[in-house]
Amino acid sequence: MAEFKTRDGSPYTPLYLTDINAETCIGCGRCFKVCPQGVMALYGVNDEGEILGIVTDDDEDDFDGDLNRKIMKVEHAGACIGCNACARVCPKNCQTHVPADDLAA
């Protein structure tokens, strides 16, 4: 079991983001904005629920009219530091976080 501590020596267990439920995510971007590590990316989804690709701020592309909604996806899971900031701002509680000890190295 790994032992993590805060600066004052208090025990701390990082909770790493491993998944975002595409069915419940509303693509609001709150988690993306608070993530200090760039772990997530915003994706476009069509009417059938198929992922169309990454949506960027400077790209007004609606994927040739196929864009129905947007969702967040875990893009760089290995960059997650387990701060859990994303979970604190998610209005839909659609994220899965796993304690550091439960993840394979």
Q: How many residues does the chain have?
A: 105
DSSP H helical segments within the chain, as ranges? 30-34, 85-89
Q: Is the pTM higher than 0.95? A: no
pLDDT tens-digit profile of 55-73?
876 556 678 888 899 999 9
| pLDDT the model gives residue 57 | 67
Alpha-carbon distance 6 to 13, whole Å? 9
| Mean pLDDT of all residues in 38-46 | 94
Using DSSP's 3-state secondary structure scheme, residue 86 falls into helix
| pLDDT the model gives residue 90 | 97
Nearest C-alpha neighbor of 97 from the set 51, 52, 41, 31 = 31
Using DSSP's 3-state secondary structure scheme, residue 33 falls into helix
| Mean pLDDT of all residues in 88-94 | 96
Alpha-carbon distance 18 to 98, whole Å? 7
* Local confidence band at 85 (pLDDT 50, 70, 90 cut-offs): very high
Task: Pick 63 or 34 by higher pLDDT.
Answer: 34
